Amino acid sequence: MRAWMFVVAMLVAAAAPLAAQDDDTTQIDEDTASIDDIDGDSADLVRRAAASVVASYAVPDMPAASFLGTTPATITRPATARDFLIGLASGVDEHGDARQGFALEASPAAIVPGFGVSLEHYRAPGVNPRYLFANLLISLGAARAAGDSAPTVLAYGVRLTLFDRGDPMRDPAFLEALGDSIARCRPRMPIPGIPRADTPTSLDPLLRDLLAERHDRDVRCMDSHTRKLARRYARAHWNASSVFVAYAGGETLDRGSFSRRRHAGDRVWATGAVRLGASAQTMLYADWTHDRGDAAPAGFDALSYGARVNLGSEAVNGFLELLGQSRFTTPLGVPGHATAWSAGLELRAAESLWISAGLGERFRRTATPDVVAVLASVRWGISLRSWLSPLE
Protein backbone atom coordinates (compact mmCIF):
# COMPACT_ATOMS: atom_id res chain seq x y z
CA MET A 1 0.00 0.00 0.00
CA ARG A 2 2.82 2.36 0.93
CA ALA A 3 4.52 1.55 -2.35
CA TRP A 4 1.40 2.48 -4.32
CA MET A 5 1.10 5.78 -2.45
CA PHE A 6 4.74 6.44 -3.24
CA VAL A 7 4.15 5.80 -6.94
CA VAL A 8 1.14 8.14 -7.02
CA ALA A 9 3.09 10.85 -5.19
CA MET A 10 5.93 10.55 -7.69
CA LEU A 11 3.53 10.85 -10.61
CA VAL A 12 1.87 13.98 -9.24
CA ALA A 13 5.24 15.56 -8.58
CA ALA A 14 6.45 14.66 -12.05
CA ALA A 15 3.41 15.80 -14.03
CA ALA A 16 4.45 19.46 -14.43
CA PRO A 17 7.88 19.10 -16.07
CA LEU A 18 6.83 16.19 -18.27
CA ALA A 19 5.96 18.27 -21.30
CA ALA A 20 9.51 19.54 -21.48
CA GLN A 21 10.79 16.25 -22.84
CA ASP A 22 7.71 14.58 -24.27
CA ASP A 23 7.87 15.36 -28.00
CA ASP A 24 4.66 13.45 -28.72
CA THR A 25 2.55 16.33 -27.42
CA THR A 26 4.23 18.87 -29.72
CA GLN A 27 2.66 19.58 -33.11
CA ILE A 28 5.30 20.04 -35.81
CA ASP A 29 4.44 22.28 -38.73
CA GLU A 30 5.91 20.45 -41.69
CA ASP A 31 5.94 23.60 -43.85
CA THR A 32 8.28 25.36 -41.47
CA ALA A 33 10.54 22.42 -40.71
CA SER A 34 14.14 23.60 -40.61
CA ILE A 35 17.52 21.89 -40.80
CA ASP A 36 17.48 21.90 -37.01
CA ASP A 37 14.19 19.97 -37.09
CA ILE A 38 15.64 17.37 -39.44
CA ASP A 39 18.69 17.03 -37.26
CA GLY A 40 16.39 16.74 -34.27
CA ASP A 41 14.40 13.91 -35.90
CA SER A 42 17.59 12.07 -36.79
CA ALA A 43 18.89 12.48 -33.27
CA ASP A 44 15.54 11.20 -32.05
CA LEU A 45 15.99 8.10 -34.18
CA VAL A 46 19.42 7.53 -32.67
CA ARG A 47 18.03 8.00 -29.15
CA ARG A 48 15.26 5.53 -29.85
CA ALA A 49 17.76 3.07 -31.24
CA ALA A 50 19.83 3.41 -28.07
CA ALA A 51 16.78 2.74 -25.89
CA SER A 52 15.87 -0.21 -28.05
CA VAL A 53 19.37 -1.71 -28.02
CA VAL A 54 19.89 -1.19 -24.30
CA ALA A 55 16.75 -3.11 -23.43
CA SER A 56 17.85 -5.22 -20.53
CA TYR A 57 21.40 -4.42 -19.42
CA ALA A 58 22.26 -8.04 -20.11
CA VAL A 59 24.50 -9.68 -22.66
CA PRO A 60 22.51 -12.08 -24.84
CA ASP A 61 22.22 -15.70 -23.70
CA MET A 62 22.98 -16.83 -27.24
CA PRO A 63 25.10 -14.22 -29.05
CA ALA A 64 24.89 -15.97 -32.44
CA ALA A 65 21.08 -15.75 -32.39
CA SER A 66 21.24 -12.09 -31.35
CA PHE A 67 23.60 -11.37 -34.24
CA LEU A 68 21.08 -12.95 -36.60
CA GLY A 69 18.17 -11.21 -34.89
CA THR A 70 16.29 -14.48 -34.55
CA THR A 71 14.85 -16.64 -31.81
CA PRO A 72 15.58 -20.24 -32.83
CA ALA A 73 12.68 -22.63 -32.47
CA THR A 74 15.03 -25.49 -31.63
CA ILE A 75 18.53 -25.25 -30.19
CA THR A 76 20.87 -28.25 -30.23
CA ARG A 77 22.72 -28.50 -26.91
CA PRO A 78 25.23 -31.34 -27.09
CA ALA A 79 26.31 -33.12 -23.90
CA THR A 80 29.32 -34.90 -25.43
CA ALA A 81 31.98 -34.30 -28.09
CA ARG A 82 30.24 -36.88 -30.28
CA ASP A 83 26.89 -35.08 -29.94
CA PHE A 84 28.68 -31.83 -30.77
CA LEU A 85 30.03 -33.23 -34.03
CA ILE A 86 26.64 -34.67 -34.91
CA GLY A 87 25.11 -31.27 -34.11
CA LEU A 88 27.60 -29.53 -36.40
CA ALA A 89 26.86 -32.00 -39.17
CA SER A 90 23.16 -31.26 -38.84
CA GLY A 91 23.93 -27.66 -39.83
CA VAL A 92 25.03 -28.75 -43.30
CA ASP A 93 22.65 -30.07 -45.92
CA GLU A 94 23.20 -32.86 -48.45
CA HIS A 95 24.86 -30.42 -50.89
CA GLY A 96 27.41 -29.24 -48.32
CA ASP A 97 25.67 -25.87 -47.86
CA ALA A 98 24.64 -24.24 -44.58
CA ARG A 99 21.18 -25.26 -43.44
CA GLN A 100 19.14 -22.21 -42.41
CA GLY A 101 17.35 -22.35 -39.08
CA PHE A 102 20.24 -24.27 -37.56
CA ALA A 103 21.14 -23.30 -33.96
CA LEU A 104 23.67 -24.89 -31.62
CA GLU A 105 24.92 -23.94 -28.16
CA ALA A 106 27.66 -25.77 -26.29
CA SER A 107 29.83 -25.49 -23.23
CA PRO A 108 33.43 -26.56 -23.98
CA ALA A 109 33.78 -27.65 -20.33
CA ALA A 110 31.03 -30.19 -20.92
CA ILE A 111 32.03 -31.52 -24.32
CA VAL A 112 35.83 -31.59 -24.21
CA PRO A 113 36.82 -34.86 -22.50
CA GLY A 114 38.83 -34.33 -19.32
CA PHE A 115 37.97 -30.64 -19.02
CA GLY A 116 34.89 -30.96 -16.83
CA VAL A 117 34.68 -28.50 -13.95
CA SER A 118 33.33 -29.97 -10.73
CA LEU A 119 31.35 -27.95 -8.23
CA GLU A 120 34.36 -27.91 -5.90
CA HIS A 121 36.58 -26.36 -8.58
CA TYR A 122 33.79 -24.05 -9.70
CA ARG A 123 33.51 -22.67 -6.18
CA ALA A 124 37.24 -22.10 -5.64
CA PRO A 125 37.73 -18.48 -4.50
CA GLY A 126 39.94 -15.84 -6.09
CA VAL A 127 41.00 -15.73 -9.72
CA ASN A 128 39.61 -19.02 -10.96
CA PRO A 129 40.31 -20.01 -14.58
CA ARG A 130 38.08 -23.09 -14.17
CA TYR A 131 35.15 -20.86 -13.25
CA LEU A 132 35.75 -18.84 -16.42
CA PHE A 133 35.99 -22.00 -18.51
CA ALA A 134 32.82 -23.48 -17.00
CA ASN A 135 30.95 -20.28 -17.89
CA LEU A 136 32.20 -20.13 -21.46
CA LEU A 137 29.44 -20.81 -23.96
CA ILE A 138 29.83 -21.03 -27.71
CA SER A 139 26.95 -20.70 -30.12
CA LEU A 140 26.35 -21.13 -33.83
CA GLY A 141 23.36 -20.30 -35.95
CA ALA A 142 22.26 -19.80 -39.52
CA ALA A 143 19.34 -17.84 -40.89
CA ARG A 144 18.20 -16.47 -44.20
CA ALA A 145 16.43 -13.19 -44.74
CA ALA A 146 13.02 -13.20 -46.41
CA GLY A 147 13.07 -14.05 -50.09
CA ASP A 148 14.28 -17.08 -51.99
CA SER A 149 17.39 -15.37 -53.35
CA ALA A 150 18.49 -13.87 -50.02
CA PRO A 151 21.85 -15.12 -48.77
CA THR A 152 22.19 -17.25 -45.66
CA VAL A 153 24.04 -15.68 -42.75
CA LEU A 154 26.10 -17.99 -40.56
CA ALA A 155 26.79 -16.55 -37.11
CA TYR A 156 29.14 -17.67 -34.38
CA GLY A 157 29.42 -16.35 -30.86
CA VAL A 158 30.90 -16.74 -27.40
CA ARG A 159 29.57 -15.67 -24.02
CA LEU A 160 31.68 -15.40 -20.90
CA THR A 161 30.94 -14.62 -17.27
CA LEU A 162 34.00 -12.89 -15.86
CA PHE A 163 32.60 -12.27 -12.42
CA ASP A 164 29.22 -12.80 -10.78
CA ARG A 165 28.63 -12.29 -7.08
CA GLY A 166 25.02 -13.32 -7.67
CA ASP A 167 25.93 -16.83 -8.82
CA PRO A 168 24.12 -19.12 -6.37
CA MET A 169 26.31 -22.10 -7.26
CA ARG A 170 29.20 -20.49 -5.38
CA ASP A 171 27.18 -19.89 -2.23
CA PRO A 172 27.54 -22.73 0.33
CA ALA A 173 24.22 -21.89 2.02
CA PHE A 174 22.36 -22.01 -1.30
CA LEU A 175 24.05 -25.26 -2.28
CA GLU A 176 23.07 -26.89 1.00
CA ALA A 177 19.46 -25.79 0.48
CA LEU A 178 19.59 -26.95 -3.15
CA GLY A 179 20.95 -30.37 -2.20
CA ASP A 180 18.22 -30.68 0.40
CA SER A 181 15.56 -29.63 -2.13
CA ILE A 182 16.44 -32.19 -4.76
CA ALA A 183 16.95 -34.94 -2.16
CA ARG A 184 13.29 -34.49 -1.17
CA CYS A 185 12.37 -35.85 -4.59
CA ARG A 186 14.27 -39.09 -4.02
CA PRO A 187 12.11 -42.18 -4.69
CA ARG A 188 11.32 -44.38 -1.69
CA MET A 189 12.02 -47.63 -3.53
CA PRO A 190 13.17 -48.89 -6.94
CA ILE A 191 10.47 -49.38 -9.55
CA PRO A 192 8.56 -52.66 -9.14
CA GLY A 193 8.99 -55.65 -11.41
CA ILE A 194 12.72 -55.58 -11.98
CA PRO A 195 13.76 -59.09 -13.06
CA ARG A 196 16.39 -60.87 -10.99
CA ALA A 197 19.94 -60.91 -12.29
CA ASP A 198 20.01 -64.73 -12.48
CA THR A 199 17.20 -64.68 -15.05
CA PRO A 200 17.60 -63.36 -18.60
CA THR A 201 17.20 -59.59 -18.16
CA SER A 202 16.24 -56.96 -20.63
CA LEU A 203 14.58 -53.58 -20.38
CA ASP A 204 11.08 -54.51 -21.53
CA PRO A 205 8.63 -51.77 -22.65
CA LEU A 206 6.69 -51.85 -19.38
CA LEU A 207 9.82 -51.22 -17.30
CA ARG A 208 10.94 -48.57 -19.75
CA ASP A 209 7.60 -46.77 -19.32
CA LEU A 210 7.82 -47.07 -15.54
CA LEU A 211 11.31 -45.55 -15.55
CA ALA A 212 10.19 -42.71 -17.83
CA GLU A 213 7.15 -42.02 -15.66
CA ARG A 214 9.27 -41.98 -12.51
CA HIS A 215 11.82 -39.69 -14.19
CA ASP A 216 9.14 -37.19 -15.18
CA ARG A 217 7.65 -37.20 -11.68
CA ASP A 218 11.03 -36.72 -10.00
CA VAL A 219 12.07 -33.89 -12.31
CA ARG A 220 8.72 -32.11 -11.85
CA CYS A 221 9.24 -32.37 -8.11
CA MET A 222 12.76 -30.95 -8.43
CA ASP A 223 11.58 -28.14 -10.70
CA SER A 224 8.99 -27.09 -8.18
CA HIS A 225 11.47 -26.94 -5.30
CA THR A 226 14.46 -25.47 -7.10
CA ARG A 227 12.50 -22.74 -8.92
CA LYS A 228 11.27 -21.35 -5.61
CA LEU A 229 14.76 -21.53 -4.19
CA ALA A 230 16.36 -19.81 -7.20
CA ARG A 231 13.70 -17.10 -7.24
CA ARG A 232 14.23 -16.33 -3.57
CA TYR A 233 18.00 -16.20 -4.11
CA ALA A 234 17.71 -13.89 -7.15
CA ARG A 235 15.49 -11.51 -5.20
CA ALA A 236 17.85 -11.46 -2.24
CA HIS A 237 20.80 -10.76 -4.57
CA TRP A 238 19.06 -8.46 -7.06
CA ASN A 239 21.84 -5.88 -6.83
CA ALA A 240 24.85 -8.25 -6.90
CA SER A 241 27.99 -7.15 -8.72
CA SER A 242 28.82 -8.90 -11.99
CA VAL A 243 30.66 -8.59 -15.32
CA PHE A 244 29.61 -10.40 -18.51
CA VAL A 245 31.01 -10.14 -22.03
CA ALA A 246 29.92 -11.64 -25.35
CA TYR A 247 31.01 -11.57 -28.97
CA ALA A 248 29.33 -12.62 -32.19
CA GLY A 249 30.47 -12.51 -35.77
CA GLY A 250 28.91 -13.59 -39.02
CA GLU A 251 29.56 -14.65 -42.59
CA THR A 252 27.22 -14.03 -45.48
CA LEU A 253 27.00 -17.20 -47.57
CA ASP A 254 25.78 -16.65 -51.11
CA ARG A 255 23.15 -19.36 -51.70
CA GLY A 256 24.32 -21.01 -48.49
CA SER A 257 27.68 -22.00 -49.96
CA PHE A 258 30.72 -21.88 -47.66
CA SER A 259 32.96 -21.22 -50.67
CA ARG A 260 31.10 -17.98 -51.52
CA ARG A 261 31.28 -16.24 -48.18
CA ARG A 262 31.83 -12.66 -47.10
CA HIS A 263 32.35 -11.32 -43.59
CA ALA A 264 29.04 -9.80 -42.49
CA GLY A 265 30.21 -8.02 -39.35
CA ASP A 266 30.92 -8.28 -35.65
CA ARG A 267 29.19 -7.37 -32.42
CA VAL A 268 30.56 -7.13 -28.89
CA TRP A 269 28.54 -6.74 -25.70
CA ALA A 270 29.77 -5.97 -22.18
CA THR A 271 27.77 -5.39 -19.02
CA GLY A 272 28.82 -4.65 -15.49
CA ALA A 273 26.95 -4.19 -12.26
CA VAL A 274 28.29 -2.78 -9.01
CA ARG A 275 26.46 -3.33 -5.75
CA LEU A 276 26.09 -0.12 -3.75
CA GLY A 277 25.23 -1.06 -0.20
CA ALA A 278 22.13 -3.09 0.57
CA SER A 279 19.66 -1.20 -1.61
CA ALA A 280 21.36 0.29 -4.64
CA GLN A 281 23.18 -0.78 -7.76
CA THR A 282 24.94 0.82 -10.70
CA MET A 283 24.69 -0.91 -14.07
CA LEU A 284 26.81 -0.25 -17.14
CA TYR A 285 26.21 -1.50 -20.67
CA ALA A 286 28.17 -1.23 -23.90
CA ASP A 287 27.38 -2.74 -27.28
CA TRP A 288 29.60 -2.21 -30.31
CA THR A 289 28.30 -3.18 -33.73
CA HIS A 290 30.34 -3.40 -36.90
CA ASP A 291 27.99 -4.06 -39.81
CA ARG A 292 29.51 -4.41 -43.27
CA GLY A 293 26.14 -4.09 -45.00
CA ASP A 294 25.33 -5.46 -48.43
CA ALA A 295 27.73 -3.02 -50.09
CA ALA A 296 30.44 -0.64 -48.90
CA PRO A 297 28.30 2.54 -48.40
CA ALA A 298 25.74 0.62 -46.35
CA GLY A 299 28.24 -0.45 -43.72
CA PHE A 300 28.43 1.28 -40.35
CA ASP A 301 29.87 1.07 -36.86
CA ALA A 302 27.81 1.96 -33.81
CA LEU A 303 28.46 2.05 -30.10
CA SER A 304 25.43 1.93 -27.82
CA TYR A 305 25.89 2.45 -24.12
CA GLY A 306 23.90 2.90 -20.99
CA ALA A 307 24.47 3.67 -17.35
CA ARG A 308 21.79 3.21 -14.77
CA VAL A 309 21.42 3.59 -11.01
CA ASN A 310 18.76 1.50 -9.27
CA LEU A 311 17.65 2.31 -5.77
CA GLY A 312 15.21 0.30 -3.72
CA SER A 313 14.56 -3.38 -3.32
CA GLU A 314 13.79 -6.40 -5.44
CA ALA A 315 10.09 -5.43 -5.43
CA VAL A 316 10.16 -1.63 -5.78
CA ASN A 317 12.87 0.28 -7.60
CA GLY A 318 13.52 3.83 -8.54
CA PHE A 319 15.94 4.29 -11.40
CA LEU A 320 17.78 6.94 -13.34
CA GLU A 321 19.54 6.08 -16.57
CA LEU A 322 21.49 7.67 -19.36
CA LEU A 323 21.50 6.01 -22.77
CA GLY A 324 23.58 6.93 -25.75
CA GLN A 325 24.55 5.85 -29.23
CA SER A 326 27.46 6.94 -31.36
CA ARG A 327 27.41 6.07 -35.05
CA PHE A 328 30.55 6.23 -37.08
CA THR A 329 30.91 6.65 -40.84
CA THR A 330 27.44 8.19 -41.04
CA PRO A 331 26.41 10.21 -44.13
CA LEU A 332 26.66 14.01 -44.01
CA GLY A 333 23.77 15.62 -42.16
CA VAL A 334 23.04 12.60 -40.00
CA PRO A 335 24.05 13.12 -36.39
CA GLY A 336 26.62 10.64 -35.23
CA HIS A 337 25.83 10.90 -31.58
CA ALA A 338 22.80 11.27 -29.35
CA THR A 339 21.91 10.66 -25.75
CA ALA A 340 18.67 10.15 -23.89
CA TRP A 341 17.68 9.80 -20.29
CA SER A 342 14.92 8.11 -18.36
CA ALA A 343 13.87 8.02 -14.74
CA GLY A 344 11.07 6.24 -13.04
CA LEU A 345 9.76 3.58 -10.75
CA GLU A 346 9.15 -0.12 -11.11
CA LEU A 347 6.82 -2.03 -8.86
CA ARG A 348 6.45 -5.81 -8.86
CA ALA A 349 2.67 -6.25 -8.85
CA ALA A 350 2.70 -10.04 -9.11
CA GLU A 351 5.00 -12.82 -10.20
CA SER A 352 6.50 -11.76 -13.54
CA LEU A 353 4.27 -8.68 -13.75
CA TRP A 354 5.73 -5.24 -13.27
CA ILE A 355 4.21 -1.79 -13.28
CA SER A 356 6.50 0.99 -14.46
CA ALA A 357 6.00 4.73 -14.39
CA GLY A 358 8.39 7.45 -15.31
CA LEU A 359 9.78 9.99 -17.65
CA GLY A 360 12.12 10.00 -20.58
CA GLU A 361 12.94 7.83 -23.57
CA ARG A 362 11.92 4.55 -21.97
CA PHE A 363 8.35 5.75 -21.63
CA ARG A 364 7.96 7.45 -24.98
CA ARG A 365 7.56 4.32 -27.07
CA THR A 366 5.56 1.18 -26.71
CA ALA A 367 8.47 -1.16 -27.35
CA THR A 368 9.27 -1.44 -23.67
CA PRO A 369 7.39 -1.80 -21.41
CA ASP A 370 5.01 -4.17 -23.17
CA VAL A 371 1.99 -1.93 -22.73
CA VAL A 372 2.02 1.81 -22.09
CA ALA A 373 -0.94 3.88 -20.97
CA VAL A 374 -1.03 7.66 -20.81
CA LEU A 375 -2.76 9.21 -17.83
CA ALA A 376 -2.50 12.97 -17.32
CA SER A 377 0.63 12.99 -19.51
CA VAL A 378 2.30 10.41 -17.33
CA ARG A 379 3.18 7.15 -19.01
CA TRP A 380 2.44 3.93 -17.19
CA GLY A 381 4.01 0.75 -18.40
CA ILE A 382 2.87 -2.78 -17.76
CA SER A 383 5.71 -5.16 -18.34
CA LEU A 384 6.02 -8.91 -18.06
CA ARG A 385 9.47 -8.53 -16.62
CA SER A 386 11.60 -5.99 -14.92
CA TRP A 387 14.72 -4.65 -16.59
CA LEU A 388 16.37 -5.44 -13.32
CA SER A 389 15.56 -9.10 -12.84
CA PRO A 390 18.20 -11.33 -14.34
CA LEU A 391 16.44 -14.61 -13.61
CA GLU A 392 12.83 -13.74 -14.33
Q: Can you give the binding site for another protein, defined by CB under 8 A?
A: 75, 77-80, 105-107, 109-111, 116-122, 134, 167-169, 172, 175-183, 185-187, 189-191, 194, 196-198, 201-203, 211, 214-215, 218-219, 222-223, 226-227, 229-230, 391
Helix (H), strand (E) counts: the chain = 9, 12
Closer to another protein by Cβ: residue 185 or 284: 185
Minimum Å distance from CB 78 to another protein? 7
Minimum Å distance from CB 62 to another protein? 10
The backbone torsions φ and ψ at residue 231, rounded to the nearest 5 degrees and listed phi first, read -65, -45
Query: What is d(CA 235, CA 164) in angstroms, rounded to the nearest whole number?
Result: 15
**CB-CB contact of 219 with 212 (8 Å):** no
Closer to another protein by Cβ: residue 178 or 378: 178
**CB-CB contact of 392 with 234 (8 Å):** yes
Query: What is d(CA 269, CA 289) in angstroms, rounded to the nearest whole number?
Result: 9
Closer to another protein by Cβ: residue 162 or 183: 183
Minimum Å distance from CB 337 to another protein? 37
Minimum Å distance from CB 102 to another protein? 17
Strand-by-strand arrangement of the 378-383 sheet: 103-106, 137-144, 152-164, 242-253, 261-276, 280-291, 300-312, 316-328, 337-350, 353-360, 378-383, 371-375
358, 357, 341: which is closest to 349 by C-alpha?
357
Minimum Å distance from CB 122 to another protein? 4
116, 44, 3, 89: which is closest to 355 by C-alpha?
3
Closer to another protein by Cβ: residue 227 or 255: 227
Please report how the helices 172-183 and 205-236 are oriented relative to each other, as an axis angle in degrees rounded to 10.
150
Closer to another protein by Cβ: residue 8 or 219: 219
Closer to another protein by Cβ: residue 222 or 353: 222
Query: What is d(CA 155, CA 28) in angstroms, rounded to the nearest whole number?
Result: 42
Minimum Å distance from CB 329 to another protein? 39
